[in-house]
Structure formats: C-alpha cells, structure tokens
Amino acid sequence: MLALENITKAYGTVFANYNASLKVETGEIHAVVGENGAGKTTLMRIACGELRADAGHETFDDRDVTGWNVNAAIAAGVGMVHQHFMLVPTLTVAENMILGREPFFLNPRISSQAVRELSESTGLAVDADARVSDLSVGEAQRAEILKALYHGATTLILDEPTAVLTPREIEELWKVLRGLREKGGTVILITHKLDEVMAIADTVTVMRNGQTVGQFKTNEITSDDLALAMVGREIPPAFIPARRTKNGAPVLEVEDLVVEHAVDGVTFSVSPGEIFGIAGVEGNGQHELIEAIAGYRRVTSGSILRGGVPIERTTVRRRGALGIAHIPADRRRRGLVLDYTVAENLILGRERSFGRFALDRMKMAIEAQRLITAFDIRPHDPRLLARQLSGGNQQKVVVAREMAGIRDFHVLLAAQPTRGIDIGAIETIHAHFRLARSEGRSVVLVSSDLNELLALADRIAVMLRGKFVAILDRDDATMETLGRYMAGAA
C-alpha cells in the first residue's frame, strides 16, 4: 500500500500540491484525475521519489518513506512512466532496459532474451532489438513500461499514457494493465479522460487546484459526478449547432499536393463556415500536410490556393497575412518559445503589429491581459514563462493567439488541438471552433480523437499513407466506417 498524507509542494509562490492525500491499495488500478495544472504529475513525482515534498508524510507498505529518492523507490518496486519518454533513441530497446545497471561485460544476447521473455509474459509487444528511434509512439510507450517492469516495478505509475495512442493501442494497454493487476501488481494512472477511468480503474482520486478533493470506487460513482468533482462546476453537454448549407467560394483549395516522403497527392477544398476534419492513425502524413499548408514544409508539387491566390511558394508570414492561422501539433516545440513569457508568446508571429522598430510594451501588456482573461489562462500572470504553465494552459496560449489574437483569420489549421489537455480546456477550445464556424470562418482539424471529429466536423477525410482514402459527409461518418478506412480495410 502506498499512502501520501497532507503533501504540500510549492514552486515559488505557486502551490503545485497543497495538503494532498492519496491512498493506493496493493493490487488495484487507481486513477488520479483532474484538470491540467491540478497537481497530478507533481504528486506522482513525489510518490516515485523524483521530487521531495515541502511537507507531508509518505508510507509504503506501512514503512515511513517520506522524502525517498528514485533509487529507494525503484528498490521498493515503485516506478514511473512519464508523458515524455525517457529512452535513449540511438540504443535498442534491450540496451535501454539495462541502461544504468549494465554488467561490466555486456552480453547483448542474454539481455535481449530477457526482454523478449518479459515482453511475452506481459503482452507488451516490442521488438527487443529494434532501435528506439525506429519505434512508433505506441511501441516506445510499451518499451517504457517494459523498462519499469524490467527494473522490478510492482507499483507502476503511468502519466497520461493514452494521450499518444490509437484506440486499438489503448485497448491493448488496458489488457496489459489488467494482466498486471491479476499478478498482484498495482497501477496508478494519471489521466483526465473520464471514460478511461470508468473503463479501467477500481478506485479514483480526484484532484483540483493542487488538492485531493475525494476518493471514490468507480462502481459507486457516475462519470458525470466525477466531472463535477474535477472542475467543481457543471460541464455543458456537447452541443452541435444546426449546420447551415455552406456556400460561397472556397477559402482554401489544395490540389494534388505532394510533400516528399509524406503526402502523396492530396486534393480537397474548404468552404467558408466549414470545419473540415482529417482523421487517420498518427504518422500517415497529416502533420506534414498541415505544415506544408502553413508554410514551413517544402511542397514538392501541387498547388495551394487561399481565396483563389496561389500560396504554395510564399512565406509563413505572407500566408498569415492572407488569413491562415495555425495550431501546431507539437506545441512545446513549434507552438511556443518555452523560455518566453506568456505575454511574449501571445504575440509570436504577430510581433510586427506591435511596433515598427521598438515593441510597444503597453500594447503588448493590454493584448496579454485581454487574451489571458478571455481564455482563462492560469495562473493569470503574463510574466510567467510558458515553460511554467501546465500543458492545457500552454495550449490555451497558442489557441488564444491564433484564434483571438491581433491578426484576424479565415482558415485555422489545427493539428491535434486538444491532445493531452483537460476537459475544461477542451470545452473552451471546441466552443471557439464552433464560434468561428458560426462567424463564417473555416477550420481544418487534424485529430486522432474520432469523438472530437464527429462532434465538430462537417466533413471528415481519412488519411492513409499520404493519401485521402475517403472524404465523408458528417452524416455518413460513423466510428465504424472511419475506423475501417483508417485501418485500410475499406
């Protein structure tokens, strides 16, 4: 049994955890849920010895382990799999397993044999001899879990494991986790997806604003009650406005677009006031397609027309001026300068509207205040570095800048806009997409979340190996048909 009592952890003047308590029984799957920035990850990093709490008690199997370090936690069988993988890309899976505890004389055959056996017994399918850089995201995650088990973890902490997985991979992960539970292992699952909690967890602890607000058995609570506990307020039900007939000249036309190694002749057009969805398993060229339209990936051939004007050879800035906004898939690398403040990030790409030579700091401050309030970017402090915000609030910075910033837009290219963020933030972002549509603006929405596409998109294209294999009207699209096209079966 792992128990944390009254844990408090502060960063500067901000409390990441305040009097948070958690009790995890041996042999259960325990979910920790909460919005982004609720303090879930911090609490778990304290549990696995990566961080030291400022106050509070930790016990493991009735032993006082307050303030233990990672090595002590691993020795006791507590291991954590992070949201951002910590594998060495140039080494093989097996080499990653023995990293840090490699014997003096390496015997590659023995270690890869051991990894293979563990892989078979747990159902975590990974090629032990594959280089990590060649793995898909799902495989890399399985390798991470395998590594923790290889190091003897019996209490496994997973931070948002499903954020990067396809629905099928998620099902496989659930199978693996249930298998671990059967063997007496304990799993702690950080998530903010309530359907996952209901599907897999025995017990759930809800966090809000750094505090734990309740612990429930999943068979004694509904997901609506959980949602209420998470955000402390009612969440409006998903709502789809009456769709109007789209008319008017297309705002974006893509013709036979080819991007080397990624996009292989894609053609589509987007009408004003339309949300055009692109579904597909990650890695089938969706992101390269979006980057090519946004202007920072070279187009090999084909054309892109914005309101009839060819733009495939123009700069990112020119396309921005023509009304193209862009939410990149990788917000930490492409969407934000992490070491810039929130205020600075809110003008990224629009800095030329804030002064001919010197930047107008007053204008910047007003813009920051306006967007921070409108999108409830927390904490409400424009001087914080983007790095210091939680994932959901980082994404709100990007969305606020692209959708409500100083530069108006006609077409928004949104790649995975809600991946890895909490329901509150997702609702905000979806509401802005719908608002944009009702104002006659258009959105190209790439998402691996079919529910998101079905809730928002007017038409949905399915991308497979660089091509559109189908473009369906919303009325013809179901989970099943999309899934079949995504798998290449139809």
Partner 1 sequence: MKALYPVITGALIALVVGDLLILGVGQSPADVYRLLIEGTWGNPYGLAQVLYKATTLTFTGLAVALALRAGLFNIGAEAQLALGGFFAGAFGLLLPAGFPAPLAVILCIAAAATGGAIGGAIPGALNAWFGANEVITTILLNFVVLFFLNWVVTAHLHVPETVHTRALASGTVPRLSAVIPAFRGSAANAIIVLAIIAAIVTSWLVFRTRFGYELRAVGLSPDAAEAAGIIPARVRVATFTLAGALAGMGGTNFVLGYKHYYEDGFSGGAGLIGIAVALAGRTHPIGIMLAALAFATLSQGGLAIHALVPKQMADILQGVVILGIAVASRTKS
What residues line the site for partner 1 (CB under 8 A)? 294-296, 315-317, 320, 326, 328, 333-340, 344, 347-349, 351-352, 354-359, 361
Whole-number minimum distance, CB 335 to partner 1, in Å?
7
Measured from the CB atom, the residue of 233 and 356 that comes closer to partner 1 is: 356
Measured from the CB atom, the residue of 258 and 316 that comes closer to partner 1 is: 316
**Peptide bond between residue 379 and the one before it cis (omega within 30 degrees of 0):** yes
Place of tokens 């799902």: 138
The DSSP H or E segment spanning 244 is: none
Whole-number minimum distance, CB 183 to partner 1, in Å?
37
- Contact criterion met (CB below 8 Å) for 108 and 72: no
Whole-number minimum distance, CB 324 to partner 1, in Å?
10
Whole-number minimum distance, CB 35 to partner 1, in Å?
25
Measured from the CB atom, the residue of 239 and 357 that comes closer to partner 1 is: 357
Whole-number minimum distance, CB 365 to partner 1, in Å?
14
Strand partners, 131: 92
For residue 33, which of 180, 164, 235, 213 has the smallest C-alpha distance? Answer: 213
- Contact criterion met (CB below 8 Å) for 443 and 412: yes
Bridge-based pairing of strands 301-306 and 309-310 is antiparallel
Whole-number minimum distance, CB 351 to partner 1, in Å?
5
For residue 285, the 8-state DSSP code is: S
Whole-number minimum distance, CB 54 to partner 1, in Å?
20
Measured from the CB atom, the residue of 216 and 340 that comes closer to partner 1 is: 340
Whole-number minimum distance, CB 319 to partner 1, in Å?
8
Measured from the CB atom, the residue of 35 and 312 that comes closer to partner 1 is: 312
Measured CA angle at 90 (ends 86, 93), to 5 deg: 65
Measured from the CB atom, the residue of 208 and 326 that comes closer to partner 1 is: 326
Distance CA 136, CA 132 (A): 9
Measured from the CB atom, the residue of 120 and 360 that comes closer to partner 1 is: 360
Q: How many Cα atoms sit within 13 Å of 151 on the Cβ side?
A: 28
For residue 158, which of 53, 24, 67 has the smallest C-alpha distance? Answer: 24
- Continuous H helices in 155-264: 167-182, 194-200, 223-231
314: its two tokens: 């123009």
Strand partners, 258: 264, 301
Whole-number minimum distance, CB 298 to partner 1, in Å?
12
Distance CA 21, CA 174 (A): 26
Give every CB contact of residue 479 below 8 A, 6+ residues apart in sequence: 450, 454
Measured from the CB atom, the residue of 97 and 413 that comes closer to partner 1 is: 413
Distance CA 411, CA 401 (A): 14
Strand partners, 270: 252
Give every CB contact of residue 330 below 8 A, 6+ residues apart in sequence: none
Measured from the CB atom, the residue of 134 and 339 that comes closer to partner 1 is: 339
- Give, in order, the Cα–Cα distances in Å from 90 to each of 81, 83, 94, 96, 116: 19, 20, 12, 9, 19
Distance CA 64, CA 42 (A): 20
Whole-number minimum distance, CB 288 to partner 1, in Å?
13
Measured from the CB atom, the residue of 352 and 434 that comes closer to partner 1 is: 352
Measured from the CB atom, the residue of 175 and 298 that comes closer to partner 1 is: 298
Whole-number minimum distance, CB 291 to partner 1, in Å?
8
Measured from the CB atom, the residue of 39 and 382 that comes closer to partner 1 is: 382
- Contact criterion met (CB below 8 Å) for 43 and 17: yes
Whole-number minimum distance, CB 407 to partner 1, in Å?
10
